[in-house]
């Protein structure tokens, strides 16, 4: 699949996220949209997974530590065949398999239950350690938020991963610069975030356009080529709400925002979907 096709796919994924959240009337759309390109590249170009065998031994894993981006993950898992598209209309509905935050016991393809920030990152380090002990050669991917990086547990896990030479762990910071209440820099800044990870003993790759499939793919390839025994952190400079103007323009309010029928229709039109 070339990058043109991936770009088309990203639009389709955004339509599916908008469908989930629009059907419900509100949801975590900003942080979901900012990682669409990353998820599409991971699942379509890098991850060794099989939707027909979701529990396959030795498969690659993805732990979305910023668990509120569930709708984005569900759209991509659905796209590659983990479950039927009708599920996308059930986000947060009673007894749904698609709760707002990722739940490994409800959704096929979800590798860890996340939602309480910082915890998924430790779990990812534990999974990477487990894979090393099993010597199965799996790659463990994980995504953290920039606001989430204010959690102390992130740095505990960061030290652990470097100390245990977990070079099978490739992490991404969704650096969209916004958190629930405002701009990260105004609330409790995390700069210089690349230097921090470097100081913690990680390889650090910065992607200037974190919403470019090609740039993300290049960064992942770089991480796979490192042979210094270090885990890798890719800082993705993304835009929260990227890809749909009224969401992007809502700024930090798009962390979780209402989506009316009119907004849904307007959004689908802009994304080239059918209503």
Partner 1 sequence: MEMRQTFSFEMDKYMAQNENIVLLNADLAKPNGLSEISEKYPERCINVGVAEQNMAGIAAGMSSYGFIPFIFTFTPFATRRICDQIAVSIAYAGQNVKIVGTDPGISAEYNGGTHMSVEDIGILRSIPNMVIFEPVDNSQLKKALVQILNFDKPLYIRMFRKELPDVFSDDYNFDLFKADIIKEGKDVTIICSGIMVQEVLEANKKLSDWGINAEIINIHTIKPIDEDTIIKSAAKTKHVITAENHNIVGGLGSAVSEVLSQRCPTILKCIGIKDSFGQVGKMPYLKQEYNMDSRSIVSAVLEILKR
Contact positions vs partner 1 (CB under 8 A):
63, 104-105, 111-113, 115-116, 118-131, 133-134, 152-153, 156-157, 159-160, 163
Minimum CB separation of residue 65 from partner 1 in Å reads: 10
Residue among 35 and 123 whose Cβ is closer to partner 1: 123
HSE (side-chain half, CA atoms, 13 Å) at 232: 22
Residues 6+ positions from 252 with CB-CB distance below 8 Å: 30, 178, 179, 180, 181, 182, 183, 240
Minimum CB separation of residue 131 from partner 1 in Å reads: 7
Residue among 120 and 243 whose Cβ is closer to partner 1: 120
Characterise 8 by phi-psi region: left (phi > 0), alpha (psi -120 to 50), beta (else).
alpha
Tokens encoding 272:
């080239």
Residue among 142 and 203 whose Cβ is closer to partner 1: 142
Minimum CB separation of residue 169 from partner 1 in Å reads: 11
Minimum CB separation of residue 23 from partner 1 in Å reads: 25
Minimum CB separation of residue 191 from partner 1 in Å reads: 24
Residue among 15 and 119 whose Cβ is closer to partner 1: 119
Residue among 113 and 212 whose Cβ is closer to partner 1: 113
Q: At what angle do helices 213-225 and 3-24 cross, to 10 degrees?
A: 110
Q: Which one, of 245, 185, 238, 251, lies nearest residue 207 by Cα?
A: 238
Q: Which one, of 35, 240, 237, lies nearest residue 142 by Cα?
A: 35
Residue among 120 and 241 whose Cβ is closer to partner 1: 120
Minimum CB separation of residue 68 from partner 1 in Å reads: 13
Extended strands (E) in 137-202: 140-145, 169-175, 178-179, 182-183
Q: What's the CA gap between 107 and 100, in Å, rounded?
A: 11
């Amino acid at each position: 699949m070339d990058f043109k096709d991936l770009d088309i796919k990203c639009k389709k994924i955004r339509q599916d996220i908008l469908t989930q959240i629009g059907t419900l009337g509100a949801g975590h759309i900003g942080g979901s949209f900012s990682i669409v390109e990353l998820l599409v590249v991971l699942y379509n170009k890098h991850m060794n997974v099989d939707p027909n065998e979701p529990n396959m031994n030795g498969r690659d894993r993805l732990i979305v530590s910023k668990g509120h981006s569930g709708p984005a993950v569900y759209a991509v898992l659905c796209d590659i065949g983990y479950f039927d598209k009708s599920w996308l209309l059930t986000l947060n509905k009673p007894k749904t398999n698609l709760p707002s935050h990722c739940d490994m016991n409800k959704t096929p393809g979800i590798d860890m239950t996340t939602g309480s920030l910082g915890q998924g990152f430790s779990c990812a380090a534990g999974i990477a350690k487990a894979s090393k002990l099993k010597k199965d050669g799996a790659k463990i991917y994980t995504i953290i938020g920039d606001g989430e990086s204010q959690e102390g547990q992130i740095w505990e896990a960061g030290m652990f991963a470097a100390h245990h030479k977990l070079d099978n762990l490739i992490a991404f910071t969704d650096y969209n610069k916004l958190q629930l209440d405002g701009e990260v820099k105004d609330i409790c800044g995390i700069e210089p975030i690349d230097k921090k990870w470097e100081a913690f003993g990680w390889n650090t790759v910065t992607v200037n356009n974190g919403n470019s499939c090609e740039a993300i793919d290049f960064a992942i390839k770089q991480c796979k080529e490192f042979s210094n025994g270090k885990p890798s952190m890719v800082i993705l400079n993304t835009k929260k709400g990227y890809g749909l103007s009224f969401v992007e323009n809502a700024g930090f309010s798009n962390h979780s925002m209402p989506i009316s029928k009119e907004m849904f229709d307007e959004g689908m039109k802009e994304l080239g979907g059918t209503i």
